[in-house]
A and B are shown apart, each in its own frame.
Chain A
Amino acid sequence: MTPTIRTAMGVGAVYAIVLGAALLSPYDPATQHRDRPLAPPTRVHVVDRDGRVHLRPFVYADDESGPTYPVRFFAHEVDEDGSIGSRRLLAVDPPAHIFLAGTDELGRDQFSRLLYGGRISLGAGVLAGALALTIGLLLGCVAGFFGGWIDAAVMAASDLFMALPWLYLLLAIRAALPLDVSPGRALASVVIVIGIAGWARPARLIRSVVLSARTRDYVTAAAASGASRARLMLAHVLPEAFSVALTQASILVPQYTLAEITLSFFGLGVGEPTPSWGTMINAMLRQELSAAHWWLAAPAAALVVVSLLYHAAADALHQRSQVLPAGAWR
């Protein structure tokens, strides 16, 4: 397996996990288990205190002297009051719980919040990256292909966009929006602002690819044999631009994921109770808490895994990593 395929599979697995959050998480991310704040991760056993081996893993409710509660797979979640919830990969009957990564100070299951939060943070990165690349691809192709005043206008606009202090603007724009907007609209506004902020760099790269592709012999030959401008653009120039767009995506998506996490770290992302990795990491700022409850560091650890995966994928895609000025996100 080539490094590209290996890392792509890793990234794909992470996406599959967060997309499957509804099934894979044992609880709703907003459900507060009021009697279990800051509970450590639940220990899942296969050997009980009498030394008997159980084929089906089980948990204890409170202390390890009480009855055992088997872990049920693909079963319906049962609430404390006996009502039947949705189907989950892992479920245990009350009063036992299965908190794979412990709970936060409101008694919410951290593992479920990690999965749902990952959906927001990673999803925002992908959507914003797609938006920036679409605009960049479109304007870059148009500028490179038509040249003249169109090219000059697009390049002037990209100069402007690259000169804007984006981290500051992003914070200012998001802060200007009302804080009580619905999670969906908050996410959409974050994605749109980040996406629009980022089109300039890919547009410039794609423009230069289009410019050089336009003078290739086979393109000249196609033009000489009577291919229309639209056909030249779609069949001959665009495919070359796509490979640049792909490597750009491997740089932009991690950056924009980081942007969402930074925004929500500042309390300017998607609001509570919807989780995002940024808000979860921000909770670690209350250090007296996180020093004594190590499982609160789970989102920070998850971020490490995903970041390294992203970076390995980008490295594999262009071998020599491309460094952007660090200033923007510091």
Chain B
Amino acid sequence: MGHPVSARFLVRRFAQAVPLLFVVSVVVFLLIHAAPGGPLAIYLANPNVRPADLERLRRALGLDRPLWQQYWAWLWAFVRGDWGYSFSDGRPVVVRIVERLPATIELVAVSLACALALTMPVGVAAAVRRGGWFDRAAMIASMAGVALPAFWFGLLLQMIFAIGLGWLPSSGRAAPAGGDLVDRLQHLVLPTAVLAIVLASGWSRYLRGSMIETLSQPFVAAARARGVPERRVVLRHALRNALGPLVALVTVDAALLVSGAVVTESVFAWPGLGSLFTEALARRDYTVLMAMLMLSAAAVVAFNIAADVAHAIVDPRVPAS
């Protein structure tokens, strides 16, 4: 038996991803540049910028050239790692992204871990005692988590724990003066809670469903008939088999690590990639916007491949070769 994930599978998936991302880049570039006013719209309203300056800027930035030439210039620079300079503060786009990355990874990684820690016991317990009080309570709670937008939970938690009780800071990553570990952790609690609730709600419903399905299969009945202890039946026999699809789902959602959790970050003014995107949006910062759009598209594609691989590793019956 070979390894569940073959090198050919990976090569083929990545080879498919390249033309896909190329087309994505064309679409995104066209959409962004089809906007009325173009990249210099922000200056049009500024009385201090004279028409002559505007024209000079247009030529300096290459905006007077045909669109396809602009695209090739952008693409060629982009693949070589030259992502240009931010329109709003003149610093390299790469620097702006890299300096925001740790905040996003911190928030998303902790949230993924918390969500997973919540999902496993809840999903399994709900499936084992299907229809019981815990199952019903968990399913009602998770329904709210799936059905309501993240910013709704954000506002609710801010209202209760930051404004009402005053236990936790309502926004930001650290106090302006402080910044010690306790302060950082306090700032992390609410945004993490929001992301973890939202993620765990979807995941635990999913895990419950696949556990119920697995528990009804003949091999589980066979294990029980052999006298395998129930605990072992659930955790070793059933859970192992039900885990595959969940692992794939978790991996797909983990793309947030690189693309940023826009909604949660902006509700809590968390200085990550999501807020970078909304700031760039407000200031029409085209270079940052393009880089962020491509980064998140690449993240979606890459984490989808990773999901297939993870699924195949957890469940060797799934073909990935």
Contact = CB atoms under 8 A, between A and B. Distances in A.
Interface of A: 159-160, 163-165, 167-169, 171-173, 175-178, 254, 258, 261-262, 265-266, 281, 284-285, 287, 290-291, 300, 303-304, 307-308, 310-312, 315, 320-321, 323-327, 329-330
A291 B163 contact: yes
B102 to A, nearest CB: 19
B116 interface: no
Nearest to A285: B155
Interface of B: 20-21, 23-24, 27-28, 31-32, 34-36, 143-144, 146-152, 155-156, 158-159, 162-164, 170, 195, 198-199, 201-203, 205-206, 209, 249, 252-253, 255-256, 259, 261-264, 266-267, 277-278, 281-282, 284, 289, 292-293, 296-297, 299-301, 304
A285 B163 CA distance: 11
B143 A329 contact: no
A217 B265 CA distance: 54
Nearest to A325: B252
B29 to A, nearest CB: 11
A320 B209 CA distance: 7
Nearest to B256: A327
B20 A326 contact: no
Contacts of B301: 163
A323 B158 contact: no
A262 B151 contact: yes
Contacts of A254: 147
Nearest to B194: A330
B163 A327 contact: no
20 contacts: A160-B20, A163-B24, A167-B262, A168-B277, A171-B277, A172-B32, A172-B289, A177-B36, A178-B36, A254-B147, A281-B152, A287-B159, A308-B143, A310-B147, A311-B147, A323-B206, A325-B253, A326-B198, A326-B203, A330-B262
Contacts of B261: 330
Contacts of B159: 284, 287, 290-291
B297 A163 contact: yes
Contacts of A304: 144, 148, 152
A261 B150 CA distance: 11
Given A160-B24, A262-B151, A330 B264 contact: yes
Contacts of B144: 304, 307-308
A330 B28 contact: no
A311 B146 contact: yes
Nearest to A294: B159
B253 A169 contact: no
A171 B262 contact: yes
Contact of B31 (A160, A169, A262, A329): A169
A327 B27 CA distance: 22
A290 B263 CA distance: 20
Contacts of B277: 168, 171
Contacts of B299: 165
A168 B24 contact: no
A326 B24 contact: no
Contact of B32 (A164, A176, A258): A176
Contact of B149 (A169, A171, A262, A327): A262
A310 B148 CA distance: 11
Nearest to B28: A169
Contacts of B292: 168
B113 to A, nearest CB: 15
A260 to B, nearest CB: 11
B24 A287 contact: no
